[in-house]
Amino acid sequence: MVSKILKFLNRESSGVNEAALLLGLFTFLSQILGLVRDRLLATYLGAGSSLDLYYAAFKIPDFLYVSVATLAAITVMLPYLSERFGSGDSESAQRTKAFFNQVFTALFGFLAVLSVILFILMPLLVHLIAPGFSVAEHAKLVMMSRIMLLQPIIVGVSNLFSSVTQMFRKFFVAALSPVMYNLGIILGVLIFLPIFGVMGLAYGVVLGAVLHLVIQLPVLGFHGFIPKFVRRISWKDIKSIILVSVPRTIGLSISSFTAVILTSLASNLATGSIAIFNLTNNMLNVPIGIIGISYSVASFPVLVKLFQSNERSKFADHIVEATRKIILLAAPITVLFIVLRAQIIRVILGAHSFSWNDTRIAAACLALFVLGMVCEALVYLLVRGYYAIGNTKTPLIWNFIGEIITVILAVIFVWMFRHIPSFGHAFSTVLRLDGVPNLEILALPFAFSIGNILNFFTLWYVFVRDFPDAKIAPVWKTAFEATAASVGLGIASYATLQLTAHVFNQATFWGIFGQGIASGAVGVIAAIVVLRAMGNRDIVDISRAMRRKFWKASVVQEVGEAVDS
């Protein structure tokens, strides 16, 4: 039995078709498990102090992960390993293993030392992360954060292992790792939470990280790549890896630091604000991942080839073409999320400990988050475009400015909610929150969306300046058509919601789920009809791609790089 399992895990993906299908399937499965995880958290804990503690405890470990562990990212390590492995003869294999052991030793040692320092400083750091917490909550936050410091060490090393599994085309294991991570957190909720209380959630995170790593060990053992600590390290090679990774890592660190600041602001708001902010932001990551990241990843190798061939005009045209596709898909989904926000929240979060007021506020937060979804998805594309030409400085500068603007706006909006009654009343009226207290949390997703919108338009301005030959007129045409389709979708979905209100039982999970599916389906059909009537050619291209075996397309994707809280 064990031998069969090991043989299955060591199964090699023979072609792009199989690898792409595996990656796509398990990415989707990981997202589904992420939603199951969030529903369990909402069910058992609700939007209260315990869930606030859980999300706050992630911030320092997450910052350590993105600022250090991602220096040995798969996209950086894989070329280094593949170059040394070469033809795979014994000499090349030994050289690759020696290099792998050096990187493993340096990465583990660096993460371990920094974790010890953060472990010692944690009582001071928690006051910066969550200044609004009580003394008792700070004590729990220190304990949870210290336990979770194991996560960036384990997952960072595991991602290094993923470079080996992908080098040997063992995509099944690489794709399974993030699924195992979410499964570990789910087990933490179901098993450890009843036994250890809120600390059980931290143990679940560590279990998920261990599963993320352990699932890859059979592959490393089969190929003789079980890592070993070494005394001699070629710091010249380590330096070259760090120099390549630094721009990407800094960009991730800036976003993580912004998350720390927003968490700090939320800790001074009503209990449950941190939980609601993170739960609704997690939902936004699903369409962003499917649309924005997918298009940016798929475009990257094409953009690199075009630029290297000095075909700047075609390079710009490809960016414009991908921009149009993203707008066409993301704009209607934005409206769909706004119209069906209550149904989405009630299906995913609305259970047991999650109160009706929490549900209404979470629905409003989701609506505000998705306001910037189109722009956030386009930012991923433009950043990848600049990476393709070897320019990491431009997106880094403008993203940094965008993050600063987001933080400043968050502070301003919180102040306005507290001191300008008409400001809060406007949000209450538009989002139907009459009678719901403590609306200051809405300031954070609103600032987040405005920051993404401004970030996109500044990057777009720079792109047009750097590529004056770009034909941007079709973008405005697509934006107009997408807006018309979104209006049609919104009207059709909202009308269906009203007409089916008495058809589906609003007091049950399946009733809400059925009403949401029906309304969403009618809205999507309406959007397609509008686009067809306007002669939009992009919807025809997308339809053709769906009818073809789209999974046979070449895919370049990082697996296991990010961990979801």
The candidate with the shortest Cα–Cα distance to 323, out of 393, 396, 374, is: 374
Q: Which range has highest mean pLDDT (85-89, 349-353, 406-410)?
A: 406-410
The answer, yes or no, to whether residue 21 has pLDDT greater than 80, is no
Helices (H) and strands (E) in the chain, counts: 24, 0
pLDDT over 50 (residue 174) = yes
Chain mean position to CA 360: 24
Residue 449 has pLDDT above 90, yes or no: yes
Record the tokens describing residue 178, joined without a space. Answer: 């993030």
Q: Cα–Cα distance between 441 and 189 in angstroms, integer?
A: 26
User: 135, 136, 438: which is closest to 272 by C-alpha?
Assistant: 438
- Return left, alpha or beta for 289; rule: phi > 0 is left, psi -120 to 50 is alpha, else beta: alpha
Question: Which amino acid is it at 425?
Answer: H
Evaluate whether 122 touches 142 at the Cβ level (below 8 Å): yes
Q: 449: Cβ–Cβ under 8 A, 6 or more apart, which residues? A: 368, 369, 370, 371, 372, 373
* Cα(446)–Cα(423) distance, integer angstroms: 13
Listed in sequence order, the residues at least 6 apart from 313 whose beta carbon sits closer than 8 Å to its beta carbon are 469
- 209 alpha-carbon distance from chain centroid: 17
CA distance 351 to 345: 10
How confident is the model over 435-454, as a mean pLDDT?
A: 92
Decide which of 119 and 100 is more confident: 119
Q: Residue 548 above 60 pLDDT? A: no
What's the rounded mean pLDDT across residues 400-413?
93
Cβ(63)–Cβ(263) under 8 Å? no
Return the minimum-mean-pLDDT range out of 33-42, 245-254, 410-419: 245-254
Whether the predicted pLDDT of 200 surpasses 80: yes
Mean pLDDT to the nearest integer, 410-435: 92
Please give the mean pLDDT across all residues of the chain: 82
Q: 216, 308, 278: which is closest to 10 by C-alpha?
A: 216
**pLDDT at site 297:** 62
Between residues 502 and 446, the one the model is more confident about = 446
pTM of the predicted protein model: 0.81
Q: How confident is the model at residue 16 (pLDDT cuts 50, 70, 90)?
A: very low
What residue ranges do the domains of the chain occupy? 1-244
Lowest mean pLDDT among 31-40, 125-134, 170-179, 441-450: 170-179
Would you place residue 6 in the very low, low, confident or very high pLDDT band (cuts 50, 70, 90)?
very low
Q: What number is the average pLDDT over the span 481-490?
A: 94
Which residues have C-beta within 8 Å of that of residue 448, sequence separation ≥ 6? 262, 281, 368, 369, 372, 406, 410
pLDDT of residue 15: 42
Evaluate whether 531 touches 477 at the Cβ level (below 8 Å). Answer: no
List the single range of 251-265, 272-286, 293-307 with lowest mean pLDDT.
Answer: 293-307
CB atoms within 10 A of CB 420: 11
- Pure H helices in 389-442: 393-419, 421-430
**Given a cut of 80, is residue 73 above it in pLDDT?**
no
Does the pLDDT value for residue 252 go beyond 50? yes
Residue 201: pLDDT above 90? Answer: yes
Highest mean pLDDT among 68-72, 296-300, 341-345: 341-345
pLDDT category at 79 given cuts 50, 70, 90 is: low
| Weakest mean pLDDT among 11-25, 187-201, 471-485 | 11-25
Distance (Å, whole) CA 67 – CA 258: 13
Q: What is the mean pLDDT of residues 200-224?
A: 88
Provide CB contacts within 8 A for 453, sequence distance 6+.
371, 372, 375
Q: What is the pLDDT of residue 5?
A: 44
E strand map for 495-539 = none
Using pLDDT thresholds of 50, 70 and 90, give the confidence band for residue 519: very high
The answer to which of 21-30, 252-261, 474-483 has the lowest mean pLDDT is: 21-30
Q: Token pair for residue 52?
A: 């606030």
In this model, does residue 116 exceed pLDDT 50? yes
Residue 114, both tokens: 């920094």
CB atoms within 10 A of CB 69: 27
What whole-number percentage of the chain has pLDDT above 90?
Answer: 35
Give me the pLDDT at residue 139, please. 93
pLDDT tier for residue 456 given thresholds of 50, 70 and 90 = very high
Dihedrals phi, psi of 504, to nearest 5 degrees: -100, 140
Instruction: Copy the structure tokens of residue 270.
Output: 């009503």
Residue 423: C-alpha distances to residues 156, 358, 362, 440 (Å) = 44, 21, 19, 10
Per DSSP, the residues of 1-31 read: -HHHHHHHHTPPP-SHHHHHHHHHHHHHHHH
Res 192: pLDDT: 94
pLDDT mean over 148-174? 81
